[in-house]
Amino acid sequence: MPNIFNTARYILQRLGRMSTWKLQKLCFYSQAWSLAWVNKSLFEEDFQAWSSGPVCPELYEVHRGLFMVTLDDIPEPLEAQPGLNEEQSETIDRVLDLYGDWEPYELRQQTHEEDPWKAARGDTKNGDPCEAVISKDSMGEYYGSL
C-alpha cells in the first residue's frame, strides 16, 4: 500500500507549492473520500484531531517548521514502496477538483464543521492540543453519507 508521502507528492505535482495546512487537509480529504467512494484507504497513516484541523504526524514531521512546501520537501518513496494505482490517482484528482482551489483557512474551517474531527476531539476546548486519532471508520461513514 502506498504511504501518505505518495499522496502528498502527487498533490504537490498537480498543484505546486502550497501551505502545509492546505497539504495536510488535501491529504485528509483524499483519504476520507477514498474511504467513502471505494471503501479503501489510500495509506495506513492516521490523522489526529489537532486544533488546526486534521494532521498526519508523519507528514508533519517532514515539514515541521515550514509554512510552504514543495515537492522537494517530501521524501521520495523507497524503491520497494508501491506507487499510486490508477484508481487512487483518480480519487485524488476528484478531491483536487473539489477542494484544490480552496484557501487553507477555508479547508481548516470545513474540517472543523465535520463530524470526524469533532468526534475525535470530544470535549477538548477550541485551541487546546489534541492527539486523538480520527478513525478511518468515522471518515468512511461520515463522507459516505454525504
Kindly tell me if the per-residue pLDDT of 79 is higher than 90: no
C-alpha 24, offset from chain centre: 5
pLDDT at 38 over 80: yes
Which stretch of 76-80, 85-89, 105-109 has the lowest confidence by average pLDDT?
76-80
Q: Average pLDDT of 73-85?
A: 83
> Where are any strands of DSSP class E within 6-114?
18-19, 47-50, 53-55, 68-69
Helices H, strands E: what count in the chain?
A: 7, 5
Q: What's this model's pTM, rounded to 2 decimal places?
A: 0.97
Distance (Å, rounded) from C-alpha 33 to C-alpha 25?
Answer: 12
pLDDT of residue 76: 85
CA distance 13 to 110: 24
How does pLDDT run across 89-133, given as a tens digit for each residue?
999 999 999 999 999 999 999 999 999 999 999 999 999 999 999
The DSSP bridge pattern shows strands 68-69 and 18-19 to be: antiparallel
Q: Categorize the per-residue pLDDT at 11 as very low, low, confident or very high, splitting at 50, 70 and 90.
A: very high
pLDDT for 82: 83
More confident residue, 1 or 37: 37
**In this predicted structure, what is the pLDDT of residue 2?**
92
pLDDT tens figures, 16-28: 999 999 999 999 9
CA 123 vs CA 107, 115, 117, 130: distances in Å: 22, 13, 12, 10
The closest alpha carbon to 60, from 126, 12, 5, belongs to 5
Inter-residue contact 58 to 128 (CB < 8 Å): no
Residue 49 phi/psi, 5-degree rounding, is -90, 70
